[in-house]
Amino acid sequence: MSKLDEKIELYSSKIKDIEPKFNADLLAKVTKGLGPSIYKKDAESIACSSSSELARVRESFLKKKLGLKEDDATLDAAIKGVCEKMGSSNRNKYRAIFYYLLVEKFSKQDVYA
Protein backbone atom coordinates (compact mmCIF):
# COMPACT_ATOMS: atom_id res chain seq x y z
CA MET A 1 0.00 0.00 0.00
CA SER A 2 1.39 3.40 -0.96
CA LYS A 3 1.76 6.26 1.52
CA LEU A 4 -1.04 8.10 -0.28
CA ASP A 5 -3.35 5.10 0.08
CA GLU A 6 -2.49 4.92 3.78
CA LYS A 7 -3.44 8.59 4.23
CA ILE A 8 -6.69 8.15 2.29
CA GLU A 9 -7.52 5.15 4.48
CA LEU A 10 -6.77 7.16 7.64
CA TYR A 11 -8.92 10.11 6.52
CA SER A 12 -11.72 7.77 5.44
CA SER A 13 -11.80 6.19 8.89
CA LYS A 14 -11.81 9.60 10.61
CA ILE A 15 -14.45 11.26 8.42
CA LYS A 16 -17.01 8.54 9.18
CA ASP A 17 -17.56 10.10 12.61
CA ILE A 18 -18.35 13.47 11.03
CA GLU A 19 -19.94 12.52 7.72
CA PRO A 20 -21.07 8.86 7.71
CA LYS A 21 -22.19 8.96 4.05
CA PHE A 22 -19.15 10.60 2.52
CA ASN A 23 -18.00 10.36 -1.09
CA ALA A 24 -14.83 8.25 -0.86
CA ASP A 25 -13.79 9.09 -4.43
CA LEU A 26 -14.01 12.83 -3.77
CA LEU A 27 -12.09 12.50 -0.49
CA ALA A 28 -9.34 10.62 -2.35
CA LYS A 29 -9.15 13.35 -5.02
CA VAL A 30 -9.03 16.15 -2.43
CA THR A 31 -6.31 14.26 -0.55
CA LYS A 32 -4.27 13.71 -3.71
CA GLY A 33 -4.70 17.39 -4.62
CA LEU A 34 -2.99 18.43 -1.39
CA GLY A 35 0.25 16.88 -2.58
CA PRO A 36 3.17 16.43 -0.20
CA SER A 37 1.66 18.63 2.52
CA ILE A 38 -0.28 15.66 3.89
CA TYR A 39 3.00 14.03 4.93
CA LYS A 40 4.10 16.98 7.08
CA LYS A 41 2.64 16.87 10.59
CA ASP A 42 2.08 20.63 10.88
CA ALA A 43 0.69 21.12 7.37
CA GLU A 44 -1.55 18.05 7.53
CA SER A 45 -4.00 19.62 9.94
CA ILE A 46 -5.88 22.91 10.35
CA ALA A 47 -5.69 24.98 13.51
CA CYS A 48 -9.11 26.58 13.91
CA SER A 49 -7.66 28.81 16.62
CA SER A 50 -5.26 30.44 14.14
CA SER A 51 -6.89 33.38 12.36
CA SER A 52 -4.00 33.59 9.88
CA GLU A 53 -4.40 29.93 8.93
CA LEU A 54 -8.16 30.31 8.47
CA ALA A 55 -7.55 33.39 6.30
CA ARG A 56 -5.15 31.31 4.21
CA VAL A 57 -7.83 28.63 3.77
CA ARG A 58 -10.25 31.34 2.63
CA GLU A 59 -7.85 33.01 0.20
CA SER A 60 -5.87 30.07 -1.17
CA PHE A 61 -8.43 27.29 -1.13
CA LEU A 62 -11.90 28.79 -1.30
CA LYS A 63 -11.13 31.74 -3.56
CA LYS A 64 -8.23 30.48 -5.69
CA LYS A 65 -8.74 26.71 -5.87
CA LEU A 66 -12.54 26.58 -5.77
CA GLY A 67 -13.03 29.97 -7.49
CA LEU A 68 -15.65 31.19 -5.03
CA LYS A 69 -16.83 34.80 -5.34
CA GLU A 70 -18.78 35.06 -2.07
CA ASP A 71 -17.85 37.82 0.36
CA ASP A 72 -15.31 37.14 3.11
CA ALA A 73 -17.98 37.04 5.85
CA THR A 74 -19.84 34.22 4.05
CA LEU A 75 -16.63 32.27 3.47
CA ASP A 76 -15.47 32.80 7.05
CA ALA A 77 -18.84 31.58 8.33
CA ALA A 78 -18.47 28.41 6.24
CA ILE A 79 -14.97 27.83 7.60
CA LYS A 80 -16.21 28.38 11.16
CA GLY A 81 -19.05 25.94 10.50
CA VAL A 82 -16.57 23.25 9.41
CA CYS A 83 -14.46 23.92 12.52
CA GLU A 84 -17.57 23.38 14.65
CA LYS A 85 -18.64 20.31 12.68
CA MET A 86 -15.23 18.72 13.21
CA GLY A 87 -15.48 19.46 16.95
CA SER A 88 -13.48 21.61 19.31
CA SER A 89 -12.18 18.55 21.14
CA ASN A 90 -10.85 17.07 17.88
CA ARG A 91 -7.13 17.85 17.95
CA ASN A 92 -6.53 16.48 14.45
CA LYS A 93 -8.59 18.51 12.05
CA TYR A 94 -7.07 16.94 8.99
CA ARG A 95 -6.74 19.35 6.07
CA ALA A 96 -8.05 16.78 3.56
CA ILE A 97 -11.26 16.27 5.55
CA PHE A 98 -11.60 20.00 6.22
CA TYR A 99 -11.28 20.80 2.50
CA TYR A 100 -13.61 17.92 1.58
CA LEU A 101 -16.32 19.37 3.84
CA LEU A 102 -15.88 22.82 2.25
CA VAL A 103 -16.08 21.34 -1.27
CA GLU A 104 -19.32 19.60 -0.29
CA LYS A 105 -20.73 22.72 1.39
CA PHE A 106 -20.24 24.84 -1.72
CA SER A 107 -21.09 22.02 -4.18
CA LYS A 108 -17.75 22.43 -5.98
CA GLN A 109 -17.13 18.73 -6.64
CA ASP A 110 -16.62 19.55 -10.32
CA VAL A 111 -13.24 21.13 -9.43
CA TYR A 112 -12.03 17.59 -8.69
CA ALA A 113 -13.75 15.88 -11.62
Domain of 108: which CATH number?
A: 1.10.238.120
Task: Give the model's confidence band at 64: pLDDT under 50 very low, under 70 low, under 90 confident, else very high.
Answer: very high
Higher pLDDT, 70 or 42: 70
Higher pLDDT, 51 or 89: 51
Residue 25 contacts residue 110 (beta carbons within 8 Å): no
Indicate whether 86 pLDDT > 90. Answer: yes
Alpha helices (H) along the chain: 3-15, 24-33, 41-44, 51-56, 72-86, 95-105
Task: Give the model's confidence band at 43: pLDDT under 50 very low, under 70 low, under 90 confident, else very high.
Answer: very high
Looking at the structure of the chain, the number of domains it has is: 1
Indicate whether 88 pLDDT > 90. Answer: no
Task: Give the structural domain span for 37.
Answer: 3-112
Q: Average pLDDT in the 25-34 region?
A: 97
Name the CA dihedral angle for 89, 90, 91, 97, rounded to a multiple of 10 degrees.
Answer: -160
Considering only CA atoms, give the Rg of the chain: 13
Of all residues in the chain, the percent with pLDDT exceeding 70 is 100
Q: pTM for this one? A: 0.96
Q: Average pLDDT in the 38-51 region?
A: 94
What is the greatest pairwise CA distance in the chain? 42
Task: Give the model's confidence band at 24: pLDDT under 50 very low, under 70 low, under 90 confident, else very high.
Answer: very high
Q: How far is CA 35 from CA 14, 20, 39, 52, 90, in A?
A: 19, 25, 8, 21, 23
